[in-house]
Amino acid sequence: MTARCVMVLGTTSGAGKSWLTTALCRHYARMGLKVAPFKAQNMSNNARVVEGGEIGSAQYFQSLAARAEPEVRMNPLLLKPEADTRSQVVLMGQVNEALSGMPWRGRSLHVWPQIAAALDELREENDVVVIEGAGSPAEINLHASDIVNMRVALHARARCLLVTDIDRGGAFAHLYGTWALLPPEERALIHGFVLNKFRGDASLLAPAPQQLQELTGVPTVAVLPMWWQHGLPEEDGVFDDRTRASGAVSRTVAVIAYPRISNLDEFQPLKNVPGVRLVWARAPADCAGADWIVLPGSKATASDLAWLRSQGLDRAIAAHAAQGGAVLGVCGGLQMLGEALIDTHGIDGNAPGLGQLPLVTQFEPQKTVRHTRTRFGRLTGAWAALSGVDAAGYEIHHGQTLPHAAMAAAGDLAREALPDGLGWQNAQGNVLGVYLHGLFEDPRVLHALFGATAPTLETVFDGLADFLATHIEPRVLDQLIGN
């Protein structure tokens, strides 16, 4: 078989490509078709463990929506930013040091053959491949080295939708300008415009859609209303800063939002737990009144730790912990809570820790990337509800963390919360650090901590497909795959 390819392009980052791609994956899967997602290159510190290594979280969820097994071919190139001018390059699931050190404009020649091969293999094995672009396809300074937008579209002869965020303003100019900057052979691949995040009376859009079609020959095929709670995790480090909660607030969770935060998507379930208010904390004031403070993962632990101190958040965390407040560190957050970060290989950097756990982290060149099933030991204090609870998640880290030898000799011991060095608790019981990502995605953990459950991913995926079917005519979705 050779799959029909549907591609979702955007006028900007954050236009809605990822969720629309996810919705299309579930829509075509519900038609009984064999579907796979694809994104040639993703730049994100949100990653998931799959067979063969790691891929961007968005493609992981798109694969689940497509009822397919996530794998590295679905996102052959993943860039994980470590600084404003440096990224770790993950090719076909594995860190590639040579590419990581190469100027980014020179990478495309080296990676395109593997990207094209991965796409061609998926096309041979599926009925439909739903492709997501990145940023805008009309960035003329990047067009010559493009490996993620129109080069992919031309290679796959994909039928493309171009989506824009009308809530930002200037939507019709964005659509027309993007179309106008593309060469004729690339314009010909655009089969529909999509207005996303619309609020108000759609009839007031006239006569703009018709005028746009007269200028371009491309119809506006959907006007999608603003939808705050679609249930998909945040993508690409874009935060939903609204701090709504479902029902009366019974617990406020402040997640420290440092610049190189990673795997923030794992906190999405907390938004769906009744009574939980999730706050992204960038200043001490954001932590005021919080029941929990969470230090999430980081792609640049030492650098983010320095930022945290510069904002005064170290003092806020220390004061919260001293008053018996619950503190949770996940992966890089666990490392920060210890006494020291030791880096003899130039992986991340040396730094003193926050001193909330008597631990030391040593960075190693070998990266741990794996799924993990484990069970909490006997916990006390704020985290006692997790005692004996089975948990499943994933690990993505360079550091290895062990008790601080001198402190242990002096009697300041860290309690093992999870076996094999996966988790530690302080003697008072209110500070917990774990290497396990995805805790709040495990229903057993959610039930133990909150006595509640969140909507399943299956419910979320079906909701996305239902929403799309309500606001776009089925004939449009059929025509995209040639029906």
Residues catalogued as catalytic: 331, 437
- Whole-number Å distance between alpha carbons of 259 and 279: 16
* 207-208-212 Cα angle (round to 5): 125
- Whole-number Å distance between alpha carbons of 54 and 51: 8
Backbone angles phi and psi of 59, in degrees to 5: -70, -30
Give, as one character, the DSSP assignment of residue 116: H
Give kind and range of the element (H or E) at residue 474: helix 474-480
| Cα radius of gyration (the chain) | 23
* 22-44-263 Cα angle (round to 5): 85
Residue with the two structure tokens 């010559």: 144
- Whole-number Å distance between alpha carbons of 299 and 78: 13
- Whole-number Å distance between alpha carbons of 367 and 133: 28
Q: What is the longest distance spanned by two Cα atoms in the chain?
A: 79
- Whole-number Å distance between alpha carbons of 256 and 6: 37
- Whole-number Å distance between alpha carbons of 410 and 174: 64
3-class SS at 313?
Answer: helix
Q: Which residues contact 33 (CB under 8 A, 6 or more apart)?
A: 126, 127, 128, 481
Contact (CB, 8 A) for 429 and 383: yes
AA letter at 235: E
* 19-138-206 Cα angle (round to 5): 70
Q: What tokens does 191 get?
A: 């089969």
Select from 136, 153, 134, 144 the least CA-distant residue to 58.
Answer: 134
- What CA dihedral angle connects 207, 212, 213 and 218, to 10 degrees? -140
Which regions of 117-225 does DSSP assign to beta strands (E)? 128-132, 159-165, 190-198, 220-225
* CA 6 to the chain's CA centroid: 22
Contact (CB, 8 A) for 423 and 433: yes
User: What is the arrangement of strands in the sheet containing 41-43, beginning at the earlier edge strand?
Assistant: 41-43, 77-83, 86-91, 94-95
